[in-house]
Amino acid sequence: MRGPINLWRLIRTGATFERSGAMSVVLDAVDAPRPVRIAARIIGRPFSFLGYEGDAKMPPVTRALTALGPAYIKFGQILSTRPDVVGEELAAQLRVLQDKLPPFPREAARKAIEDELGVDPDGLFATFSEPVAAASIAQVHKAALADTGEVVAVKVLRPGIERAFRRDIDAFYFAARFIEFVSPASRRLRPVDVIAHFEGVVSGELDLRLEAASASEFAANTEADDGFRVPQVKWFLSGRRVMTLDWVEGAAMGDNAAIDAAGIDRVELSERVLQLFLNHALRDGFFHGDMHQGNLKVAADGAILAYDFGIMGHIDAYTRRVYAEILYGFIRRDYKRVAEVHFEAGYVPADRDVDEFARALRAVGEPIFGMDATRISMARLLAYLFEVTERFGMETRTELILLQRTMVVVEGVARSLNPRMNIWHAAKPVVEDYIKNSIGPRAVVHDLQETAKVIARFGPRLPGLVEGLLVQQTQSGQVAKPSLWPVRLIWGALGVAGGAGSVALVVLLL
């Protein structure tokens, strides 16, 4: 029965956009072609009376997304960081979705704390404020601990949020399957797998114990990073639906006027945002996966303060190297090498032409090098990139969707601080340092050491493994030559030591 229900939800989605006036705003913002506009009108207008009304005080798109629910709000949060795609006006409206959504009552938050921690909040907190920030999944209260007076931030999940997300995810799955059915060409983008990835990410956000663990690990990794701080977790005041951290004070990352008033150099800040993200992704393989302006503040001393660690990304060592080599090739404008890396990593089918792919990549990269950042149309570049991936049969790599999305968001944050920011100039020192340490001779020695460790761990088990394999093949009548056994065992160990990941990473550079 879920099919008809999900179809109904999708009809209401289009109807809500039409009823709120958001449909025309979105189509204008992305400069949609005439056929798309006609199709949207045909689908939306007849059913507009079925759409949610939403809050009439909000701008149209914000009104529609908040009426539709948390999963739609997440999508709006991403777009809010890309004024170069949706325009400055719409991006400013969508920033409300980052931390200024309608809150739920303070007493409901206190009840959730009592249910989760099993203690009366009056015994824990000397003060407990009204909500200071409300986002799609949770809201934050400022409080003072009763025993020490220390000021903390208490994050509480919205009541019923799990059920709301489950409902939206079901509808998204239905839409993805429908798209695959009516458009076989879309299957290379693996829309169902993309939704599955999104579901996994959201599931992690709905358990604040996992977020607390991520915050703790991220703080440990970045402890030595200049100009970057992460609040510490108060474990004894945290659980599945409640998390407590140190309170951080600073100007909102999206408030350029406040940043300027504090005397902070926005040009330097924009480069630092991008460089820190690249460092976390390349050096640590563990990065903040939701780095929009609503999750970042700027301290009085200029340090970037990060919070909200519900979405974190992981990248294995092999993929980090591929990512760095592709990025480094673009920085050097060596498009042939970038193309070769894509083929070597299996991102592009082997039957395609590497030189033709290199020329297509040049068409993506050169406009960014040769044009002032304020004149670059990211919407146009993204559209062209989509054409390139389709032409060369590149499939969506769901294991790195979060890295792709976060890079787009981070660049949007950086350019909101400095529209003329040169992403190549900012990325170059980080990528060069990683290349030097991870792809050169030093890296070869390190890899050999790691491989030796893996083989050594198998040492005590080698006699048993050999005996078991010999017995197995003797029973099947297929005993291998003895001289091949050491080679096969070492090959197996090397396989454990390795690891592979893959993604069409050109989109990260936009």
Catalytic residues: 290
Selection from 106, 116, 77 nearest residue 93 by Cα: 77
Contacts of 1 (CB under 8 A, 6+ apart): none
| One-letter-per-residue 3-state SS of 459-509 | HHHHHHHHHHHHHHHHHHCCCCCHHHHHHHHHHHHHHHHCCCCCCCHHHHH
Give the tokens for residue 4.
């008809």
Q: Which residue has tokens 């200049």?
A: 226
Give the tokens for residue 179.
């798209």
Return d(Cα 429, Cα 418) in angstroms, integer. Answer: 19
Selection from 416, 193, 410 nearest residue 311 by Cα: 410
Give the DSSP letter of residue 233.
B
List C-alpha distances in Å: 56 to 20, 63, 66, 369, 388.
Answer: 8, 7, 11, 43, 41
Contacts of 31 (CB under 8 A, 6+ apart): 379
Strand partners, 138: 157
b/e 192-220 (16+ beta carbons within 10 angstroms → b): bbebbbbbebbeebbbbebbbbbbbebbe
Under a CB-based contact definition with an 8 Å cutoff, are residues 27 and 40 in contact?
A: yes
Give the tokens for residue 294.
């609503």
Q: Where are the beta strands (DSSP E) in 359-441?
A: none
Selection from 419, 335, 329 nearest residue 376 by Cα: 419
Under a CB-based contact definition with an 8 Å cutoff, are residues 138 and 155 in contact?
A: yes
Q: Is 158 helix (H, G, I), strand (E, B) or coil?
A: coil
Return d(Cα 396, Cα 415) in angstroms, integer. Answer: 26
